[in-house]
Structures are given as C-alpha cells and as structure tokens.
Amino acid sequence: METARDVLTALARRYAFGDLEALITQGTLAADGRAAPVAALCAFGQRVLDLDAEDFGMPEAAGEVPRDLLDRARASRMPQAAREHPRGALASLRPAYRLLLEVIAIRWHRRDMAALVAAVHIAGEYLPMLAWETVLGHAGDPARIRAAVGGEGSRFGVPVEPGTARVCDHTRPERSACERTLRVAKEPPSGWRAYLDRQHSQVAAALGDCAARCRTPCTVMTRIEDLVRADLSDRCRLAADFSDGALVKLRHAAPVGHGFGVPSPEEVQAAWTRARRSLSRHPLGKSALADDDSYPLPGLPAVFSAIATTDLRPDTLLRDVTERITSSLA
C-alpha cells in the first residue's frame, strides 16, 4: 500500500514540482516538519522547468533555496537591468542550452508535447546567437556588441533612407531591433526589459542573416578573418536550417502557436526525423548526426554542440533538485 511519502516521492521523480508544492503547502500531505525547504525546492524547480528565465536564481516566496542551485540557475538568467551583474545568458548561452536540453528531455518523459515544442522553438530562435558567441566573445550583450558590429562601413541597425537602393537583407523588424540593441544599454530597466521581451531574438535572427544569407556583406562580416568567417557562416546556415525545419514548425500547430492542436509524441518524432534528414544535407549537420545517442530526440545535443563548437550535454540541474527533494522526504 502506498504511503503519503511514496506519492510525494513519485511526484518528485516525475518533476511534478507544482503538484508536489501544492500538496505540501496546503497540508493535504504533510512532510514531517520538512514542508518549508521542500516547498522552496519545488517552487524553484517549477520556475526552472517553465523556463522563467527572467527570475532564475531569485529568492522564492515559498522559502530559501540552496545557494549552489540558485547560482547554477543564474548562469541562464536574462539580466533585468542594463548594468546587472552577473550577465548570465548575455555572457554565454551555453548554460542555457544545456538547461534547454534537460528541459526538453523532461518534457518528453512527461509526454508534455506542447511545452516541449515551445522549448524547441526558444532554442531555435537563439541558435544564431549561440553560433556568434565564439566571434563576439559574449552572447550578443547589448552593452558590449557595438565594438563588433558598429563603425565605418557597417549597415547594422542603420535606417534605410527613403528612395535609396536597399543593400541590406535585414527585414524592417530586424533593422529596428539592431538599432535598438546599440542604445538600449543606456535605457532604464523598463526599456531594457521591453527590448529583451520583444527584440533580442530579432537581433539573433539578424546576426544569423549576416553570416548565412547576406548577399552584400558589410563590415560586420568583412572585418572577420576569412577562416573564422567561413566557419561562422557554416554554423549559422545549420542554425537557420534547424529553425526552418519540421520540428520547430510544429509550434504553429500547438496552443503556444496559432492553432488549437497539440502534437502527439509520434508526430514530434516524425517531425524530428524529417528535420534530421534536412539537416544531414548540410556537411556540418551530417557530421553531427552521424551517430545516434540515447537522447529522446536523437542527435539534438550534437546539432547544438556543432553550432556552439563545444560539447553541449543536458544539464542535471532539475535532476539534482529532484534528488534534494527525495532526500528530504526519505
């Protein structure tokens, strides 16, 4: 016969942090005087699982979270003010992609396909920035990006004069976002947050276009040494192929997109199979996908790793939260 503790432990192992917190804090199932620390871990775990990046590493109302877990989450946090330190995901997107890989795997385990597709879509949006990180030395931090994209001969964020020929392939939203990123570090926190919410992903797309699709490169690209530029372009083309692929397009059939259907696990697998086939036509993608792995979407970590030029394996942050919870309940 299952005990209350067995139920709580099962919920923790299914990463059902919200349900577990509700049972503990509402007193439906007691945790022998250990409700407060477990509730704090649950609130933290749910925030991370929901990819609530603006509040990663912040104190939880439910109670105190161990500092080591908070610090790990802060590596994927988006700073909420222009001068906030540490810079989190603006310093490097690599921790965020490791976390995304862990979240995608957990969503697969829970058969939560709508949330899985949403996480994949987020990953696709910022892949060009992940590729550019090796060249910029950071992940598109507006406080530091001008040195790499501004200056004489650059068309990055420069308005198109009425009546003149268009020589930059950026769309109007991309040009607006690029212009904003060059000045947003001087704006108040409200403006900074609005930029992150609405335009930072457009800057990532614009940088991807610079490297992968531009027909008339300006000094944003021509200032880069030839071999580095060729490698960057190759990785940005792979990022573009992923973002344009069948798996990311599933978002438009899910509630997080424009329809009312939720893809089944079989539809997600089929979409990833089609996407893999497309990515394998790219030499870099073919190399990355040469060997299957045990990941729920085989080869996804390898594709992200190829774009980042470093080994990106799923994080263990949420697994470690679960272990802390089950240890407290034991």
Give the least confident one: 56-70, 78-92, 185-199, 245-259: 245-259
Q: What is the pLDDT of residues 148-170, one digit of tens each?
A: 999 999 999 998 877 777 789 89
Q: Is residue 40 part of a domain?
A: yes
Q: Please report whether residue 240 resides in a domain.
A: no
> Domain count of the chain?
1
Alpha carbon distance 321, 95 (integer Å): 17
Give the residue numbers spanning the domain of 29.
4-93+318-329
Alpha carbons 81 and 203: distance in angstroms, whole number: 18
**In the prediction, which pLDDT does 37 show?**
86
Say which residue, 59 or 104, is predicted with more confidence. 104
Read off the pLDDT of residues 171-220 as tens digits, 9 standing for 90 and up.
Answer: 999 999 999 999 999 999 999 999 999 999 999 999 999 999 999 999 99
Helix residue ranges, H only, the chain: 4-13, 17-25, 35-49, 67-74, 94-109, 113-136, 146-149, 172-181, 189-198, 200-212, 219-222, 226-243, 246-249, 265-279, 283-288, 300-308, 317-329
In a domain, 200, yes or no: no
Confidence of residue 57 (pLDDT cuts 50, 70, 90): confident
Structure tokens that stand for 31 in this block: 């945790």
Per residue, the 3-state secondary structure of 95-156, as one string, reads HHHHHHHHHHHHHHHCCCHHHHHHHHHHHHHHHHHHHHHHHHCCCCCCCCCHHHHCCCCCCC
Report if residue 9 sits inside a domain: yes
DSSP-derived letter for residue 303 is H
What pLDDT does 19 receive? 93
Place of tokens 């199979």: 273
pTM of structure: 0.94
What distance separates the 2 farthest-apart alpha carbons in the chain?
78
Residue 187 covered by a domain: no
pLDDT at 24 over 50: yes
How far, in Å, are 11, 157, 328 from residue 118 at the CA level? 23, 29, 32
Per-residue confidence (pLDDT) for residue 279, from 0 to 100? 98
Of the ranges 23-37, 97-111, 167-181, which one carries the lowest mean pLDDT score? 23-37
Residue 81 lies inside a defined structural domain of this protein: yes
- pLDDT given at position 124: 97
Asked, for residue 216, whether it belongs to a domain, the answer is no
Provide CB contacts within 8 A for 264, sequence distance 6+.
113
